């Protein structure tokens, strides 16, 4: 057989060739993309792809570690703020007690002032009488 005859035998007639649609539906596209993903997952990675994957993984791990450190710092700051808040509340309560005591003493002082001028006038008049 010649080369021409081999080509004719190997060439399929147009009716038997696979039909490839120009427009695919969205579900067909999703199915084909899912098939591609599965095939990519099943095929072994080349060394360059493996290195790139490991590099990305290292970057993600580093980012995760920095986020964990930041979270721990925030927890420590929250504890410190809680402690400060507790101290401030205690000090505020003490100030309120002091203010209440001051108001009581102020009312007592006012009551004494009402009483004392009468006593002062009497003692002043007695002193004046004694001095004369």
Give per-residue pLDDT as tens, 23-34. 556 556 666 667
Give per-residue pLDDT as tens, 51-86. 999 999 999 999 999 999 999 999 999 999 999 999
CA distances from 1 to 8, 10, 12, 13, 45 (A): 11, 13, 18, 20, 44
Pick from 1, 71, 74, 103: nearest CA to 95: 103
Instruction: Please check whether residue 38 is in contact with residue 30, taking contact to mean a CB–CB distance below 8 angstroms.
Output: no
Domain residue limits, the chain: 41-131
Q: Where are the beta strands (DSSP E) in 3-123?
A: none
pTM: 0.41
**Which H helix or E strand runs over 86?**
helix 47-131
């Amino acid at each position: 057989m010649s080369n021409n005859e081999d080509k004719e035998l190997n060439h399929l007639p147009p009716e038997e060739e696979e039909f490839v649609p120009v427009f695919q539906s969205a579900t067909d596209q999703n199915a084909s993309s899912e098939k591609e993903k599965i095939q990519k997952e099943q095929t072994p990675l080349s060394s360059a792809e493996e290195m790139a994957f490991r590099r990305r993984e290292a970057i993600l791990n580093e980012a995760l570690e920095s986020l964990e450190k930041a979270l721990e710092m925030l927890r420590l700051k929250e504890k410190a703020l809680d402690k400060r808040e507790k101290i401030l509340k205690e000090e505020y309560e003490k100030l309120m007690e002091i203010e209440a005591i001051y108001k009581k003493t102020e009312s007592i002082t006012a009551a004494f002032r009402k009483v004392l001028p009468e006593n002062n006038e009497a003692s002043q008049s007695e002193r004046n009488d004694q001095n004369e």
